[in-house]
Amino acid sequence: MKVYQTRRIQRRERALLVIAGLFIGLNQVGLILVQSRSATAIWPVLVWVGCAIGLHRTANRQLPHRDPLLLPAILLLTGWGLNLIHRLLPAFADRQAYSMIFSVAVVMGLMYLPNDLLWLRRYRYTWLVMGLILLAATILAGVNPAFVGGPKLWLGVAGVFYQPSELVKLLLTVFLASYLTDHWVTLRYDVFRIGRVRLPSLGFLAPMLLMWGVCVVILVWQRDLGTATLFFVIFMLMLYLASGQWIVLASAAILFMGAMVVAYETFAVVALRVNIWLDPFGGNAPDNESFQVVQSLIAVASGGVIGEGIGQGVPTFIPVVHSDLVFAALAEEWGLVGVVGLVITVLVIVLRGLRIAMKSQRRPFAAFLAAGLSIMIGTQSLLIIGGSLRLVPLTGVTLPFVSYGGSSLLTSFVAGGLLLILSEESEP
């Protein structure tokens, strides 16, 4: 029976990977024909195929009972992102391809480690403190490889740059999952009451608040407020999942609104982004500062239902389109059809991750980690898609698996790889 299930999983995943490969290949061929590029421009597809084969075969050996939908969804988004980056900035596509190869190699390495992930759970403080040291190092030695005078959020060694906040985002999720695993019973039952409201013990919350607070303070110091917002959402939602108390969500909403008011009055960059969000076409938003959001809205509107067509739009008018607003480029050339396809693919990853969490109730660490990783991917996607559509202020976070950036891609792949590993051990 197990052999049959294993083969069924492998066949299902293989079929989905073939469909994803055909989509990415035809996408790239269409771009070559429309823009009269050389046939050598097919190389992104070859890189994708090599990575897909490597991951699929390694997973067959190491994770025979994994979730069959996760890997195809992850690779579809990554390949689509590589298509878009090659269309927008061909010179950057090779860097993204190198990042993809490295990220795939890291995930393949993770698959050979013990599936119980005790090496993550037992050393939660060590992992997070190491990440915080790197994050704090950006205050003294941070650089910005893209913009002179921009926020210095990267560390560089020998021409290779990495954004520590991406690593800390992952390590914070691991820390919270590990800590909540050891103390979730205390969180639910060791409470004090104020009327009908049940509040968790401050002694229990102190270590979590301290580690999370240090992360957020450093990010605020560096003006990386988008990532700070993401950290806040991850922390509060995971705390709610562990406690099951509505007061956590209510407190989160009140704290977030209060923090936004303080940030608006304190940080010029927050005030500017909120003003642009409220009125990008005039008022308190200077034309040169709101240009990015305005062009994003124009691009999305130009896409209509079926889009302008592959290589037919002009998304390059949008500043930093390959990173911050790659969603707008996709919406312009693929229209509502492409947007729905992208959102569904992201939802597949998030919902399958939550499904893994629900099926891992006998293993609390796996359940909390799967839920936390799903929250991280889902919230980050929501922030950047909402920012591109002017549903929320633009935060500057990347679209997981799709946007340009080696740090973001590596973090997204590791998160996806951990979900694959957790799915192997989830309850049948």
Residue with the two structure tokens 């990532």: 227
Kindly state the tokens that stand for 167.
């690593």
Residue with the two structure tokens 């999720």: 173
pLDDT value of residue 32: 92
pLDDT in tens, 179-206: 999 877 777 666 666 656 566 666 667 7
Does residue 287 carry a pLDDT above 60? no
pLDDT value of residue 210: 80
The DSSP line for 104-169 is: HHHHHHHHTS-TT-HHHHTTHHHHHHHHHHHHHHHHHH-B-SS-TTS---BEEETTEEE-HHHHHH
User: Is 360 within 8 Å of 367 (Cβ atoms)?
Assistant: yes
Kindly state the tokens that stand for 371.
């839920």
pLDDT value of residue 2: 65
Rounded distance between C-alpha atoms, residue 115 and residue 425, angstroms:
7
Q: If pLDDT is split at 50, 70 and 90, which confidence band does 82 have?
A: very high
Q: What is the mean pLDDT of residues 417-423?
A: 96
Does residue 175 carry a pLDDT above 90? yes
Does residue 1 carry a pLDDT above 60? no
Rounded distance between C-alpha atoms, residue 399 and residue 389, angstroms:
13
Rounded distance between C-alpha atoms, residue 137 and residue 340, angstroms:
40
Q: What is the mean pLDDT of residues 215-226?
A: 76
**Minimal CA–CA distance to 212: which of 233, 235, 183?**
235
Rounded distance between C-alpha atoms, residue 319 and residue 90, angstroms:
16
Q: If pLDDT is split at 50, 70 and 90, which confidence band does 422 have?
A: very high
Q: If pLDDT is split at 50, 70 and 90, which confidence band does 148 have?
A: low
What residues are paired with 155 via a beta bridge? 162
Q: If pLDDT is split at 50, 70 and 90, which confidence band does 256 have?
A: confident
Q: What is the mean pLDDT of residues 237-244?
A: 85
pLDDT in tens, 342-359: 999 999 999 999 999 999
Rounded distance between C-alpha atoms, residue 409 and residue 99, angstroms:
7
Does residue 84 carry a pLDDT above 90? yes
Q: What is the mean pLDDT of residues 398-425?
A: 93
What average pLDDT is seen over the chain?
87
The DSSP line for 88-107 is: H-HHHHHHHHHHHHHHHHHH
Does residue 428 carry a pLDDT above 60? no
State the amino acid at position 127 in one-letter form: W
Q: If pLDDT is split at 50, 70 and 90, which confidence band does 16 have?
A: very high
**Could you tell me the residue ranges of all domains in the chain?**
123-266
What is the distance between the terminal CA atoms of the chain, rounded to a whole angstrom?
13
Segment holding 30, helix H or strand E: helix 2-34
Any residues with CB less than 8 A from the CB of 162 and at least 6 apart, and which? Answer: 154, 155, 156, 406, 407
Does residue 414 carry a pLDDT above 80? yes
Does residue 377 carry a pLDDT above 80? yes
Q: If pLDDT is split at 50, 70 and 90, which confidence band does 126 have?
A: very high
